[in-house]
Structure 1
Amino acid sequence: MTLFLGIAALAALMASVVFLLLLPFTPGRRSRLLGGSIGFLFTSITCATLAYSSDLVKLAEYAREGKNGSPDDCGTAMDCWLDKSWRTATLYCPAIIERFAMRDFEWIDGLLEPKFNGFRLENPQGSAVTMIGDKLRFQNSSGEWLRMTYECDVLPDTDIIVDVRVDARD
């Protein structure tokens, strides 16, 4: 959620800068461009504030659990380990998974839908978390599209991807 709000704030800020740069070249529409620029600027400030406040809420939760306010120190909190693993897998695994395609590939997830919809714990002490997804199709040599299942093993304490597997779905 924080990443989405940060991206939305950046996009709105860039749109307001574009509107401000267009002001000198559109003499008859200055009031509309200025209004749009102010609107996008307000949106970017609102999104940035929401992203920052959600980070503050997360820090407060970690502090309340006795973790000195550090989200990097998960301890035995399983939701913290899963959150870190999900972020790492979402950022780095799709590019690695795409390299498994012999011909073409197609992600069939929605715009705001996550690519990983499940997980498996290899070791309850938090050594490796396997993130699992099935929102991908590969094209085989005869041109047919096959639905694939993919797994990404992540070490959440170091944000290292250990292994990636892709198999045809039954």
Structure 2
Amino acid sequence: MGIVLGKIISWLLVALACLTAFACFSDSVIGGSLAIAAAVFFCPLSWKMLRRFAAQEVPTGAFIILALVTYFAGTGMAISNFDDKKQAVQQGFANLEDYQAANKLGLDAASYAKHLDGLAAVERQKAEEAKATQAKVASACRQDLQCWADENQFDAIMACKPAVQKLAKYDYEWTDGITSPIFSRLAWSEKKSGMIIYFGDEIKFQNGLGNFVRHTYACTFDPVSKLAVNVSAESGRL
């Protein structure tokens, strides 16, 4: 009779812990999780599995004590969070996180709002300084041929390569690779507008006899429109 009554009480405690977990989750995820854990420790069905896991005979009382400790820890945490939320609302904080952060700093709602405004102002200033630095670097790069050409090289390849290919009367064959870049020389076409002339000699055009002959090429690239505005080629090497 005593064993049956004990199991009935355990199942009632399981139900209580589950209901408590449901209520706790709105105020504390950790508190709700602890209440779920307490329900597991209260449950007679879990005792066998826990004993098997422990590889020894664990007294039922140990499970009950562990369940009670876990249960009260979870409910205590949830109650504490509930009280903190209530205090946060009463003192004019936007949320619990702000209330807890302000408490650590010893600030009231108004002072904490000023503190946040100050932090935001510092971040804005940092962003503006970073933007100004980037603009300065970009401006310096724009005046340097090598830097400006390197910055636009990918777009130049995408625009110039098909334009050079169209100059072939018959077939063509590219010879560029890791050690032989498609462009090997540079020049300003118009520095004011930023247009660059890319030179290279990594292509062979097929002639009327079927032979592939090395050619040099020049491609004027406009970084604004991303277009090859002029392209030419002639036999030979740079």
Normalised TM-score (structure 2) = 0.39
User: Which runs of 5 or more structure 2 residues have no equivalent in the other structure?
Assistant: 1-129
Give me the whole-angstrom Cα distance separating, in 1, the residues matched to 2:214 and 2:151. Answer: 27
User: Which runs of 5 or more structure 1 residues have no equivalent in the other structure?
Assistant: 1-62
Tell me what 2:230 maps to. Answer: 163
Distance of aligned partners of 1:77 and 1:66 in 2 relative to their CA distance in 1, 3 Å threshold: farther
Among 208, 212, 219, the alignment partner of 1:141 is 208
Tell me what 1:86 maps to. Answer: 153
Give me the whole-angstrom Cα distance separating, in 1, the residues matched to 2:142 and 2:210. Answer: 48
Deviation at residue 127 of structure 1 after TM alignment = 3.2
Tell me what 1:150 maps to. Answer: 217
Q: What secondary structure sits across from 2:173 in the alignment?
A: strand
Tell me what 1:11 maps to. Answer: none
Among 104, 111, 121, the alignment partner of 2:188 is 121
Q: What is the identity percentage for the equivalent residue pairs of Structure 1 and Structure 2?
A: 26
Give me the whole-angstrom Cα distance separating, in 2, the residues matched to 1:124 and 1:141. Answer: 39
* More RCO (CA 8 Å, sep 6+): 1
**Conserved? CA contact 1:148–1:167, under 8 Å:** yes
Amino acid at match of 1:89: A
Give me the whole-angstrom Cα distance separating, in 2, the residues matched to 1:68 and 1:110. Answer: 33
Alignment size in residue pairs: 108
Deviation at residue 148 of structure 1 after TM alignment = 0.5
CA deviation vs aligned residue, 1:46-84 (integer Å, no higher than 9, x gap): xxxxxxxxxxxxxxxxx5983348859954344442123
Among 148, 151, 166, the alignment partner of 1:99 is 166
**Conserved? CA contact 1:84–1:156, under 8 Å:** no
Give me the whole-angstrom Cα distance separating, in 2, the residues matched to 1:99 and 1:71. Answer: 34
Amino acid at match of 1:153: T
Tell me what 1:67 maps to. Answer: 134
Tell me what 1:110 maps to. Answer: 177
Amino acid at match of 1:118: R
Give me the whole-angstrom Cα distance separating, in 2, the residues matched to 1:98 and 1:82. Answer: 21
Amino acid at match of 1:119: L
Distance of aligned partners of 1:76 and 1:111 in 2 relative to their CA distance in 1, 3 Å threshold: closer
Deviation at residue 101 of structure 1 after TM alignment = 1.3
Q: What secondary structure sits across from 1:131 in the alignment?
A: strand
CA deviation vs aligned residue, 1:9-59 (integer Å, no higher than 9, x gap): xxxxxxxxxxxxxxxxxxxxxxxxxxxxxxxxxxxxxxxxxxxxxxxxxxx
Give me the whole-angstrom Cα distance separating, in 1, the residues matched to 2:139 and 2:181. Answer: 23
Q: What secondary structure sits across from 1:122 in the alignment?
A: strand
Amino acid at match of 2:162: A
Identify, as 1 or 2, the structure richer in helix: 2
Alignment map for 1:5-84 (pairs within 5 Å): 63=130, 66-68=133-135, 74-84=141-151
**Conserved? CA contact 2:198–2:221, under 8 Å:** yes
Tell me what 1:41 maps to. Answer: none
Deviation at residue 117 of structure 1 after TM alignment = 0.9
**Conserved? CA contact 1:122–1:128, under 8 Å:** yes
Amino acid at match of 1:133: G
**Conserved? CA contact 1:155–1:161, under 8 Å:** yes
